[in-house]
Amino acid sequence: MGRVGLRVLALMLLLGAAPAQAAEAVTLSGVLAQGSVALGQTEPGAAVRLGDIPVPVSPDGRFVLGFAYNAPETAVLSVRLPDGKTETQTLEIARTAYDIQRIDGLPTAKVSPNPADTKRIQDDQARIRGERQEALAEPSFPRLGFILPAEGRRSGVFGSQRILNGQPRQPHFGIDIAAPVGTPFVSPADGVVRVASKDFFLLGGTIMVDHGYGMTSVFAHCEDVLVKEGQRVQRGEQLGTIGNTGRSTGAHLHWGTAVGGINVDPAVVLETLRP
């Protein structure tokens, strides 16, 4: 599957030339690969950065790293400890092999929208990006752990190159779960609803949940949206029902996850961030 077997790797990082007593200042568990996530633990009160990007850290020192689907081969992790000392480590990021997925029979307006519809798409995308940025300021939630939001056939995978009606499009940033219209789906983890809309142009009925740690989930093509913006939800609580709205050729739930605005594979999130 090109994901280092999707197995969870335990990594003890010896940061820089730190002395022995600081050798375990940071631990990571997860997959260091394109499109993947890793769960970190450091000292309470420490500040973490991945490259130039600050990483939210919980009061007890937990944090989540996300690596883009096309992340470069290395990334620099830096930790400023409560005593003021900064330690760094260069992480090696494995390449991921992605599938090519061809989807035909889509309405022309959904593949090549007119200027007015293009403006709607851009506005929808800007809304998601903006809410993801706001999510970075949300305090981390006390319980972190993800479950599958719905049962069904996996009809789409993360990172696959989408060819729509013969036209190449951007990669698919999520997984698709095919199930009948009206099938309930739940929140995979605790969080706050930031988007609850019934009419995004491409995504149709759309829900976005902020899980803390800079993590968000987006659910698309919903038939029913059963939550409101600002509502706090718990893991396993119903959010809506699966539909066939927006740019869709059959009833399914699109579930996308992001860390700090970086799209990551929900399948790896499930493996790495279990309850």
Query: Where exactly are the structural domains of the chain?
Result: 4-92, 100-272
For 85-108, the DSSP string reads -EEEEEEEPBP----EEEE----H
pTM of the shown model: 0.82
Measured between its terminal Cα atoms, the distance across the chain in Å is 24
- CATH number for domain 100-272, candidates 3.90.950.20, 3.30.200.20, 2.70.70.10, 3.40.50.2000: 2.70.70.10
Strands (E), 81-230: 86-92, 100-103, 153-156, 161-164, 167-171, 175-178, 184-186, 191-200, 204-212, 215-225
Residue numbers in the chain where pLDDT is lower than 70: 1-24, 100-114, 117, 135-142, 162-169
Give the pLDDT of residue 25: 79
How do residues 108-118 score in pLDDT, each as one tens digit? 655 566 677 67
272 sits in which H/E element: helix 266-272
How do residues 170-180 score in pLDDT, each as one tens digit? 788 999 999 99
Among residues 8, 159, 13, which one has the least CA distance to residue 88?
A: 13
Q: Rounded to whole angstroms, how far apart are CA atoms 269 and 84?
A: 32
Class level of CATH domain 4-92: mainly beta
For the chain, the maximum distance between any two Cα atoms, rounded to a whole number of angstroms, is 62
- In the block, tokens 């022309």 appear at 108
Q: 4-92 and 100-272 share one CATH topology? A: no
Q: Which two three-digit tokens encode residue 67?
A: 């690596």
